[in-house]
Structure 1
Amino acid sequence: MADKRRFDLFAQFLVERFAASRVFDIAGGQGRLNQALSQRGCTVTTFDLRHKRLPVRYAERLFTLDEPCECDLLVGMHPDGATRVIIEYAAKHRLPFAVVPCCSDNGMPYNPWRRHLAELARGLGFPLVEEHVLPMEGRATVVLGAFSGSAREPGAGAQ
């Protein structure tokens, strides 16, 4: 069973770690991460195909590399098959990203999938690629990538 605190825990981590105000939440389901980030002062657009969702800013479509760049940060909480496109879009626009992967889009087991995502980010030019474990049950490891100045040092907190 999924940890019900996951959206709040991820949102708090994102706000503390990144100096971002406009966020794209990719494959965001009902928009619970959007809601948690919005409550913390971010302007968030969730991309997903769900018809049933929370009353949040929502783009009812798949997210592609051709999407206009109107954000400071890309995120995904268990974004399934959209995980790679988050990293590729972030690299294309030199934006930071943070994903909590769950399953791969190619059947790869979880730990090799996380390592693959980190290597993908490095290969696309991210100078900073790290992992952070959220204090929750289930798939809780954040893979993040950033360019100079787009992420705060760990433990620096929000300013």
Structure 2
Amino acid sequence: MADKRRFDLFADFLVERFNAPRVFDVAGGQGKLNEALTKRGRAVTTFDLRHKHLPVTYAQRIFTLEEPCEAELVVGMHPDGATRIIIQYAAAHRLPFAVVPCCSDNGMPYNPWMRHLAELARESGFTTVEEVKLTMDGRARVIVGEHGPAAS
């Protein structure tokens, strides 16, 4: 059973870790992470295909690499098949990302999937790739990717 505190715990982590006033929440379901981040002063757009969702800023479509960049951070809480696109989009726009994967989109077991995502982030140019564990039950491992200072 999923931890009911997961959205608040992840939102707290994101607010403490990143100075990012605008956030893209990819494959955000009903928008519960959006709601939690909005309460913490962030402007969030959730991308998902759900028709029924909370009254939050919501883009009812699939998130793609072509999405105009109007955020300083890209996140996903158990984003299923959108996990890889979060990393790729963040890399393309030199944004940090934080994602809490729950399962792979290709049947890969969880631990190899986590290693694969970390390697994808490194190969995509992130200078810092780390794993953080949220204090919650269930899939609680966060993969974080950040870029160092731009070369001058």
1:71 paired with 2:71, answer: yes
Amino acid at match of 1:129: V
Amino acid at match of 1:130: E
- 1:58 is displaced (CA, Å) by 0.1
Identify the residue that residue 121 of structure 1 maps to in structure 2: 121
Superposed counterparts of 1:105-120, under 5 Å: 105-120=105-120
Which portions of structure 1, spanning 4 or more consecutive aligned residues, are displaced by more than 2 angstroms? none
Equivalent-residue separation in structure 2 for 1:37 and 1:148 (angstroms): 25
Equivalent-residue separation in structure 1 for 2:52 and 2:111 (angstroms): 32
Identify the residue that residue 58 of structure 1 maps to in structure 2: 58
Amino acid at match of 1:90: A
Amino acid at match of 1:106: N
1:47 paired with 2:57, answer: no
- 1:76 is displaced (CA, Å) by 0.1
Structure showing greater relative contact order (alpha-carbon pairs closer than 8 Å, 6 or more residues apart): 1
Equivalent-residue separation in structure 1 for 2:6 and 2:105 (angstroms): 21
3-state SS of the aligned residue for 1:76? strand
Q: List alignment gaps of at least 5 residues for structure 2.
A: none
> Once superposed, what is the RMSD of the aligned Cα atoms?
0.6
1:131 paired with 2:110, answer: no
Equivalent-residue separation in structure 2 for 1:147 and 1:22 (angstroms): 17
1:91 paired with 2:106, answer: no
1:4-42 CA deviation, whole Å, 9 max, x = no partner?
000000000000001100000000000000000000000
1:38-64 CA deviation, whole Å, 9 max, x = no partner?
000000000000011000000000000
Q: List alignment gaps of at least 5 residues for structure 1.
A: 150-159
How high is the sequence identity, in percent, across the aligned residues?
A: 75
My pick for the range that moved more, 140-149 or 9-18, is 140-149
Superposed counterparts of 1:12-23, under 5 Å: 12-23=12-23
Equivalent-residue separation in structure 2 for 1:79 and 1:97 (angstroms): 13
- 1:148 is displaced (CA, Å) by 2.2
